[in-house]
């Protein structure tokens, strides 16, 4: 496959200007990765890092899901691999010394509220329970006994007024216990970070295939000859996926990248896994790089479908035999005018056709995506549009092909499997009902957004947050703070302090309860990767010698015991996680093998999820293709902000290269040439159009708030689009959500830029 001509040029956009504007690095990855490794492992402080690197447990960071059970650090194919720098960053943050013992006595909440995300994280590990009560300005240490009594009291409220939120870092065992405790209370108010993340993928894929996760295993990905990578910044957020993309190119395959930002690592990536051929010179990644208007990907996919239909390149036999509803989807693509498609996505017809050709020439295509697709007001339709394209080309249900949402947190998918969701699958509910011998509620509870709305209206009394940062992860931080402030008792179970602990305060009580992380628990735990592979984590030890920490499983079982007593579940017995795994094996479909994992140590692929034959988990066994209406992208004007002038842009809020979600590790982003976090990445064309200058300081106004003194950075981003870092930019936006998944549109935020 030949390297593509620059599609930016053919899109009529001045590639030269974009290249000139690019102030960052020339390749993604590269030597800085090795330098980081060397600095942190060869120093005097390197020993605990090495020890942790060799601990047999899954990586803390992303859901690509590398782990250590097979000896050394291995992927599910048993290949020995290196941990990426992101994995190391997460470990180093967990190996920090404890927060200084008298810190909270010396610093009032007003002072704590001034800390940035990075400063909050750098306070160190949480090592004792603390409480902030109404009228007090200081967090104070309390005993575990007092914390449990207070929580148990707080959970004795009507079930509709209690809720949980969770972030996918904890274990399957903790997740399972959390949902069981909540459901026995009679509450489905199990909001989860996936509501803010890949829920559109789960919703769209479940509707189409009857299964909400990736249909592709790592083994299968290794046989693909084309990967379509949409709305993902994998060089930063899933670095080990980059090695698979390099290998696709090495075996003569092709990569189509779709992203409004020409992320440098998606053009060329220097991987430490291939030190000689790749690390310094960099490996080519994208054969074709398309930069659509933010939020318009569905139009581009309908364009790809149309082009395939026009050239008679769709697999009608496959559609006939294995899908339902395909005629309407084909008809829709045929009926949609090219003019409309091109206008909505901003990509010229020739480039859309080139993308269609690239897909049709390949024998086995994997379609992969991340937040650029899900963080949209039509996130679920986006996912269905991708699935339709895969089905039309016969690319689901065979080795080397399929649809692959690239999951976020290291165990976010496991939380979903364990039933941490505001609605419960009937099969799981029935299985749980058998175990507990009583009916469980069927009505859906609050997801992350409806939880905030309910709290704002004063309808929530108690909230337990198992990890995460519900405050800073939400759109409209002012609303999030107000909403949390209406909840009587907010409990944060965490390993390290974050800004949510200081801003997301409950009305009467806010508790911060410290727990062990994955490599410190005194018992075995499991997690699930985005590729549907279950990992076993060995027992470990914490470096925090005198700390007053508990395992998450102990915290949840003790709380459940105090709320529910001994019946119908012997909660204290479940402090031994082997029994939790027995319950999971009995109740969670596909997880049967977890019942033997303590004896066999055999990590496994979850049954029924990887489709190597076109037999799906719908009632008919056929894929149900969904009709996907074109996105309606409103034309933005300064009037939206009550102004007459200024430059209106679609703001993408995303991660820098040195942060994990709301936790910032370093303030700069060298790869995008952004020297600090108060920057806005803009195209040279827009800078000129707005009468502005590179490095000028401007005001960025959103519908919910404003940020001042923001530095313009000129970069390779599509005109009309801009990028700022989350969570700081979350003050700007009102919550606009996809009606099907309720996930916020963080990637198309209207903003006005002016000096
Ligand atoms: N190091 C590190 N790793 C992480 C995380 C982290 O914060 N740090 N977070 C974890 C989590 S929870 C998640 S969900 C994942 C996130 O992984 P990603 O989804 O890669 O993360 P984002 O930074 O949100 O980047 C989204 C990408 O989508 C592009 N994009 C924005 N709008 C559009 C659009 O309209 N169309 C298209 N096609 N593309 C668009 C952006 O330019 C950007 O490159 O990473 C996980 N891994
Ligand atoms: N504007 C904008 N907003 C976004 C996004 C975006 O791209 N743009 N992305 C969204 C996405 S994809 C997601 S997933 C959410 C992320 O939202 P969350 O998952 O809520 O947030 P995190 O920042 O990952 O949470 C970090 C905290 O988790 C705690 N923690 C870490 N490890 C453990 C552990 O082992 N156990 C426990 N109990 N706690 C632990 C630490 O205290 C740490 O401070 O944000 C969403 N918000
Ligand atoms: S790619 Fe993800 S799972 Fe693999 S080592 Fe890096 S952060 Fe960990
Ligand atoms: Mo996420």
For the segment(s) 105-197+411-605, the CATH number from 3.40.50.1820, 3.40.50.740, 1.20.1280.50, 1.20.1250.20 is: 3.40.50.740
- For ligand 2, whether the C-beta of 730 sits within 6 Å is yes
Please name which ligand lies nearest the alpha carbon of 655. Answer: 1
Please name which ligand lies nearest the alpha carbon of 720. Answer: 1
86 Cα–ligand 3 center, Å: 7
Please name which ligand lies nearest the alpha carbon of 660. Answer: 1
Closest residue to atom 4 of ligand 3, CA basis = 66
Instruction: Give the pLDDT confidence score for residue 545 in this predicted structure.
Output: 85
Q: Which of 241, 379, 652, 724 to mutate to test the pocket of ligand 1 (most atoms within 8 A of CB)?
A: 652
Cα 330 versus chain centre, distance:
31
Instruction: Enumerate residues 6+ apart whose C-beta is below 8 A from 485.
Output: 505, 506, 507
Query: How many whole angstroms separate alpha carbon 669 and alpha carbon 34?
Result: 17
Supply the DSSP symbol for 525: E
Tens of pLDDT along 69-83?
665 577 888 777 777
Beta-strand pair 623-624/323-324: parallel
Beta-strand pair 679-682/721-725: antiparallel
Instruction: Give the pLDDT confidence score for residue 65 in this predicted structure.
Output: 82
Ligand 1 atom closest to 230 (CA): 38
237 Cα–ligand 2 center, Å: 13
Element (H, E) at 492: strand 489-494
347 Cα–ligand 4 center, Å: 28
Closest residue to atom 1 of ligand 3, CA basis = 240
Q: How confident is the model at residue 2 (pLDDT cuts 50, 70, 90)?
A: very low
Q: How confident is the model at residue 459 (pLDDT cuts 50, 70, 90)?
A: very high
Beta-strand pair 533-537/604-605: antiparallel
Instruction: Give the pLDDT confidence score for residue 634 in this predicted structure.
Output: 83
Residues forming CATH 3.40.50.740 domain(s) in the chain = 105-197+411-605
Query: How many whole angstroms separate alpha carbon 706 and alpha carbon 696?
Result: 17
Please name which ligand lies nearest the alpha carbon of 232. Answer: 1
- For ligand 2, whether the C-beta of 473 sits within 6 Å is yes
Tens of pLDDT along 669-695?
999 999 999 999 999 999 999 999 999
What per-residue string of b and e applies to 309-337 under the rule 16 or more CB within 10 Å gives b?
beeeebbeebbeebbebbeebbebbeebe
Q: Which of 167, 493, 659 to mutate to test the pocket of ligand 2 (most atoms within 8 A of CB)?
A: 167
Tens of pLDDT along 161-182?
999 999 999 999 999 999 999 9
410 Cα–ligand 1 center, Å: 15
Instruction: Enumerate residues 6+ apart whose C-beta is below 8 A from 36.
Output: 85, 88, 89
Instruction: Give the pLDDT confidence score for residue 6 in this predicted structure.
Output: 34
Please name which ligand lies nearest the alpha carbon of 406. Answer: 1
Tens of pLDDT along 309-361?
999 999 999 999 999 999 999 999 999 999 999 999 999 999 999 999 999 99
Mean pLDDT value of segment 570-599: 97
Please name which ligand lies nearest the alpha carbon of 385. Answer: 1
Instruction: Give the pLDDT confidence score for residue 125 in this predicted structure.
Output: 98
Residues forming CATH 2.40.40.20 domain(s) in the chain = 638-754
Q: Residue 717 above 90 pLDDT?
A: yes
Ligand 2 atom closest to 168 (CA): 19
Instruction: Give the pLDDT confidence score for residue 128 in this predicted structure.
Output: 97
Instruction: Enumerate residues 6+ apart whose C-beta is below 8 A from 111.
Output: none
Q: Which of 82, 91, 239, 414 to mutate to test the pocket of ligand 3 (most atoms within 8 A of CB)?
A: 239
For the segment(s) 638-754, the CATH number from 3.40.50.2300, 3.40.50.970, 3.40.720.10, 2.40.40.20 is: 2.40.40.20
Tens of pLDDT along 515-534?
999 999 999 999 999 999 99
Instruction: Give the pLDDT confidence score for residue 659 in this predicted structure.
Output: 96
Sign for the pseudo-dihedral over CA of 437, 441, 447, 450: negative
Closest residue to atom 46 of ligand 1, CA basis = 408
Lateral strand order in the sheet of 525-528:
525-528, 533-537, 604-605
217 Cα–ligand 1 center, Å: 21
Residue 185: closest CA among 219, 151, 235: 151
Closest residue to atom 2 of ligand 1, CA basis = 237
Closest residue to atom 16 of ligand 1, CA basis = 408
Query: How many whole angstroms separate alpha carbon 467 and alpha carbon 660?
Result: 13
Residue 474: closest CA among 234, 745, 658: 745
Question: Higher-confidence residue: 33 or 659?
Answer: 659
Tokens 């015991």, located at residue? 561
Query: How many whole angstroms separate alpha carbon 554 and alpha carbon 226?
Result: 46
Q: Residue 88 above 80 pLDDT?
A: yes
727 Cα–ligand 4 center, Å: 13
Which residues' Cβ are closer than 6 Å to ligand 1?
61-62, 86, 197, 230-233, 236-237, 258-261, 263, 292, 294-295, 297, 370-372, 408-409, 652, 654-655, 659-661, 747
Ligand 3 atom closest to 58 (CA): 3
Residue 360: closest CA among 228, 455, 264: 228
Please answer whether residues 365 and 387 qualify as being in contact, where contact means their C-beta atoms are separated by less than 8 angstroms. no
Sign for the pseudo-dihedral over CA of 338, 343, 344, 349: positive
Ranges of H-type helices in 605-754: 684-689
Strands, E, within 56-208: which ranges?
Answer: 130-133, 140-141, 162-166, 190-192
Instruction: Give the pLDDT confidence score for residue 85 in this predicted structure.
Output: 87
Ligand 3 atom closest to 61 (CA): 7
Tens of pLDDT along 93-135?
999 999 999 999 999 999 999 999 999 999 999 999 999 999 9
Tally of CA atoms within 13 A in the half-sphere of 753 that contains its CB: 32
Q: Residue 200 above 90 pLDDT?
A: yes
Instruction: Give the pLDDT confidence score for residue 70 in this predicted structure.
Output: 65
276 Cα–ligand 4 center, Å: 33
Query: How many whole angstroms separate alpha carbon 235 and alpha carbon 167?
Result: 23
Q: Which of 119, 416, 464, 469 to mutate to test the pocket of ligand 2 (most atoms within 8 A of CB)?
A: 469
Instruction: Give the pLDDT confidence score for residue 38 in this predicted structure.
Output: 79
The SS3 of residue 34 is: helix
Calculate what percentage of the chain has a pLDDT beyond 90: 87
SS (H, E, C) 348-415: CHHHHHHHHHHHHHCCCEEEEECHHHHCCCCHHHHHHHHHHHHHHCCCCCCCCCEEEECCCECCHHHH
Tokens of residue 698, six digits: 């401007």
Query: How many whole angstroms separate alpha carbon 465 and alpha carbon 452?
Result: 13
Lowest mean pLDDT among 13-27, 105-119, 389-403, 727-741: 13-27
296 Cα–ligand 1 center, Å: 16
Closest residue to atom 35 of ligand 2, CA basis = 517
Closest residue to atom 28 of ligand 2, CA basis = 468
Lateral strand order in the sheet of 28-29:
28-29, 268-270, 283-284
What per-residue string of b and e applies to 666-694 under the rule 16 or more CB within 10 Å gives b?
ebebbbbbbeebbbbbbbbbbbeebebee
- For ligand 2, whether the C-beta of 237 sits within 6 Å is no
399 Cα–ligand 2 center, Å: 33
Question: What's the mean pLDDT when you consider all of the chain?
Answer: 94
Tens of pLDDT along 355-382?
999 999 999 999 999 999 999 999 999 9
What per-residue string of b and e applies to 520-539 under the rule 16 or more CB within 10 Å gives b?
bbebbbbbbbbbbbbbbbee
Which residues' Cβ are closer than 6 Å to ligand 3?
59, 61-62, 64-66, 83-84, 86-87, 238-240
Lateral strand order in the sheet of 226-230:
288-290, 254-258, 226-230, 365-369, 402-405
Instruction: Give the pLDDT confidence score for residue 596 in this predicted structure.
Output: 97
- For ligand 2, whether the C-beta of 191 sits within 6 Å is no
Please answer whether residues 463 and 191 qualify as being in contact, where contact means their C-beta atoms are separated by less than 8 angstroms. no
Q: How confident is the model at residue 592 (pLDDT cuts 50, 70, 90)?
A: very high
The SS3 of residue 685 is: helix
- For ligand 2, whether the C-beta of 498 sits within 6 Å is yes
Calculate what percentage of the chain has a pLDDT beyond 70: 96
| Ion ligand 4 contact residues with beta carbon within 5 A | 197, 408
Instruction: Give the pLDDT confidence score for residue 12 in this predicted structure.
Output: 30
Q: How confident is the model at residue 600 (pLDDT cuts 50, 70, 90)?
A: very high
Please name which ligand lies nearest the alpha carbon of 529. Answer: 3
Strands, E, within 242-300: which ranges?
Answer: 254-258, 268-270, 283-284, 288-290
Beta-strand pair 268-270/28-29: parallel
The SS3 of residue 698 is: strand
Instruction: Give the pLDDT confidence score for residue 218 in this predicted structure.
Output: 95
370 Cα–ligand 1 center, Å: 6
Mean pLDDT value of segment 400-411: 98
Sign for the pseudo-dihedral over CA of 682, 688, 691, 693: positive
Instruction: Give the pLDDT confidence score for residue 23 in this predicted structure.
Output: 53
Instruction: Give the pLDDT confidence score for residue 9 in this predicted structure.
Output: 29
Mean pLDDT value of segment 701-708: 97
Cα 457 versus chain centre, distance:
28
Strand partners, 724: 653
Query: How many whole angstroms separate alpha carbon 296 and alpha carbon 129?
Result: 47
Q: Which of 60, 61, 75, 269 to mutate to test the pocket of ligand 3 (most atoms within 8 A of CB)?
A: 61
Tokens 């895969």, located at residue? 390
The SS3 of residue 146 is: helix
300 Cα–ligand 3 center, Å: 30
Tens of pLDDT along 5-62?
333 223 333 333 344 444 567 899 888 888 887 788 777 677 888 888 888 899 999 9
- For ligand 2, whether the C-beta of 271 sits within 6 Å is no
Note if the pTM is more than 0.85.
yes
Tens of pLDDT along 229-246?
999 999 999 999 999 999
Q: Residue 632 above 90 pLDDT?
A: no
CATH fold group of domain 199-406: Dimethylsulfoxide Reductase; domain 2 (3.40.228)
Tokens 């799981």, located at residue? 428
Instruction: Give the pLDDT confidence score for residue 276 in this predicted structure.
Output: 86
Beta-strand pair 721-725/647-654: parallel
Lowest mean pLDDT among 284-298, 483-497, 624-638: 624-638
């Amino acid at each position: 496959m030949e390297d593509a001509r620059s599609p930016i040029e053919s899109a009529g956009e001045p590639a030269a200007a974009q290249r000139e504007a690019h102030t960052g690095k020339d390749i993604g990855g590269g030597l800085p990765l090795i330098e980081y490794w060397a600095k942190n492992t060869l120093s005097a402080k390197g020993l605990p890092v090495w020890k942790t690197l060799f601990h047999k447990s899954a990586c803390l960071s992303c859901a690509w899901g590398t782990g250590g059970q097979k000896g050394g650090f291995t992927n599910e194919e048993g290949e020995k691999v290196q941990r990426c720098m992101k994995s190391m960053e997460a470990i180093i943050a967990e190996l920090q010394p404890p927060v200084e013992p008298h810190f909270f006595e010396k610093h009032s909440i007003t002072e704590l509220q001034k800390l940035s995300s990075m400063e909050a994280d750098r306070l160190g590990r949480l090592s004792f329970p603390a409480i902030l009560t109404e009228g007090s300005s200081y967090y104070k240490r309390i005993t575990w006994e007092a914390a449990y009594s207070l929580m148990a009291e707080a959970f004795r409220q009507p079930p509709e007024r209690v809720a949980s939120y969770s972030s996918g870092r904890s274990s399957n065992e903790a997740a399972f216990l959390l949902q069981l405790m909540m459901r026995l209370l009679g509450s489905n108010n199990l909001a989860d970070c996936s509501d803010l993340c890949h829920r559109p993928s789960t919703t769209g894929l479940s509707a189409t295939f009857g299964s909400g996760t990736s249909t592709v295993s790592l083994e299968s990905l290794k046989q693909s000859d084309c990967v379509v990578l949409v709305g993902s910044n994998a060089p930063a957020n899933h670095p080990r996926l980059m090695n698979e993309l390099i290998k696709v190119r090495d075996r003569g395959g092709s990569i189509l990248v779709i992203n409004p930002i020409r992320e440098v690592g998606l053009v060329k990536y220097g991987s430490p896994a291939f030190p000689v051929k790749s690390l310094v010179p960099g490996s080519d990644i994208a054969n074709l790089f398309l930069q659509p208007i933010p939020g318009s990907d569905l139009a581009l996919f309908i364009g790809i479908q149309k082009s395939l239909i026009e050239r008679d390149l769709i697999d009608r036999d496959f559609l006939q035999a294995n899908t339902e509803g395909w005629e309407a989807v084909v008809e829709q693509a045929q009926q949609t005018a090219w003019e409309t498609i091109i206008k909505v996505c901003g990509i010229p017809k020739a480039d859309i056709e080139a993308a269609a050709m690239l897909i049709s020439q390949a024998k086995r295509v994997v379609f992969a995506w991340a937040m650029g697709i899900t963080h949209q007001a039509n996130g679920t339709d986006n996912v269905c549009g991708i699935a339709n394209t895969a089905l039309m080309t016969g690319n689901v249900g065979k080795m080397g092909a399929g649809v692959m949402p690239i999951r976020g947190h290291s165990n976010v998918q496991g939380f979903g499997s364990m039933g941490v969701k505001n609605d419960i699958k009937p099969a799981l509910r029935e299985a749980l009902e058998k175990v507990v011998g009583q009916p469980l509620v069927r009505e859906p509870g609050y997801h992350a957004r409806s939880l905030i709305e309910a709290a704002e209206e004063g309808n929530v009394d108690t909230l337990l947050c198992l990890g995460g940062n519900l405050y800073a992860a939400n759109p409209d931080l002012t609303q999030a703070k107000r909403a949390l402030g209406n909840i009587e008792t907010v409990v944060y179970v965490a390993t390290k302090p974050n800004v949510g602990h200081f801003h997301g305060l409950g009305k009467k009580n806010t508790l911060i309860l410290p727990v062990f992380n994955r490599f410190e628990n005194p018992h075995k735990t499991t997690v699930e990767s985005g590729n549907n592979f279950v990992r076993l984590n060995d027992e470990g030890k914490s470096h925090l010698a005198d700390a007053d920490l508990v395992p998450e499983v102990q915290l949840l079982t003790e709380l459940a015991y105090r709320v529910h007593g001994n019946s119908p579940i012997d909660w204290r017995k479940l402090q031994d996680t082997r029994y939790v795994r027995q319950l999971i094996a009995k109740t969670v479909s596909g997880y049967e093998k977890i019942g033997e994992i303590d004896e066999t140590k055999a990590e496994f692929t979850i049954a029924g999820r990887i489709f190597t034959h076109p037999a799906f988990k719908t009632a008919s066994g056929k894929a149900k293709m969904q009709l996907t209406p074109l996105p309606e992208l409103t034309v933005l004007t300064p009037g939206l902000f009550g102004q007459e002038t200024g430059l209106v842009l679609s703001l993408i809020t995303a991660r820098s290269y040195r942060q994990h979600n709301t936790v910032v590790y370093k303030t700069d982003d060298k790869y995008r040439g952004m020297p600090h976090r108060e920057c806005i990445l803009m195209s040279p064309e827009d800078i000129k159009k707005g009468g502005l200058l590179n490095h000028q300081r401007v005001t960025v106004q959103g519908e919910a708030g404003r940020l001042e003194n923001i530095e313009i950075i000129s970069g390779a981003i599509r005109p009309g689009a801009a990028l700022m870092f989350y969570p700081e930019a979350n003050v700007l936006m009102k919550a606009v959500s996809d009606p099907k998944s309720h996930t916020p549109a963080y990637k198309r935020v209207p903003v006005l830029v002016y000096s």
